[in-house]
Amino acid sequence: MKQRKIDNEVLRQMLSEDKTQRECATFFDVSDAAISKVVKRWQSDKLAGEMPESFKVLSPMKQRFVLSVGPEQKSRTAAAMDAFNPGSLASAKAMGQRTMSEPDIRIALADLMAQCGLTRRSRIHRLSDIVNAKDLAIASRGLDLSFKLDGSYAPIQIENVPFDAALISASVKELRQMLEEQSEEAKTIDLIPEEKEVNENE
């Protein structure tokens, strides 16, 4: 039987009626893969048209990274593996951290999440439900996520103090002198009762 061309309008109508892709493939006498390919193309076109401008200006690889981290909820490392195809897991981890810190990536991700209804405020409200869950395991996970959200896990910034050898040497000398004085005082205190005892015996 001659293969019929897929009618997009008919296919859309069938899918809207909750027909499976296999049923559609049977109707059009094509493979399941052919129907899947058409549907994926529609989804890509729709997604591209609805994307915020901050996303559209990114390179294709960075767009793939944002989609992986955002809607697909993958880790930064997994997103880097998908987007950049690095040579190793260590490289993917480094690339994921570096890419996520870029301002244009963070802006695009925030705009995309907001467009999907996942604003920062809505996520905080939803997170409060998790933190207040009766299951302690779920609540602890919620607390962990809340700490990450407000930056509580950010590394501590240590101020660089200039090295002053003369100052350190003077401090050490002063400390030794204090210890010696305390030692002399301790000896004097120990001798006082002995002298008193000797006088009484006399």
Domain ranges of the chain: 1-50, 53-118, 119-152
Q: Which of 66, 96, 64 is nearest to 82 (CA)?
A: 64
Per-residue pLDDT of the chain (202 residues; tens, 9 = 90+): 444 578 888 888 888 888 888 888 898 888 888 888 888 777 655 655 677 889 889 998 998 898 888 777 788 999 999 899 888 999 999 999 999 999 999 998 888 777 766 666 666 777 787 888 888 888 888 788 777 666 666 555 545 555 556 666 666 677 777 777 766 665 555 544 544 444 555 5
Distance CA(3)–CA(25), nearest Å, equals 11
First to last CA, the chain: 134
The architecture (CATH level 2) of 53-118 comes to Orthogonal Bundle (1.10)
CB 32, CB 21: distance < 8 Å: yes
Q: What are phi and psi of 132, to 5 degrees?
A: -90, 10
Tell me how far apart the alpha carbons of residues 14 and 23 are, in angstroms, rounded to a whole number.
9
Which H or E run includes 143? helix 136-149
Residue-wise pLDDT for 46-94, tens only, equals 655 677 889 889 998 998 898 888 777 788 999 999 899 888 999 999 9
pTM for this prediction? 0.45
Tokens standing for residue 127: 């997170």
Cα radius of gyration rounded to whole Å, the chain: 35
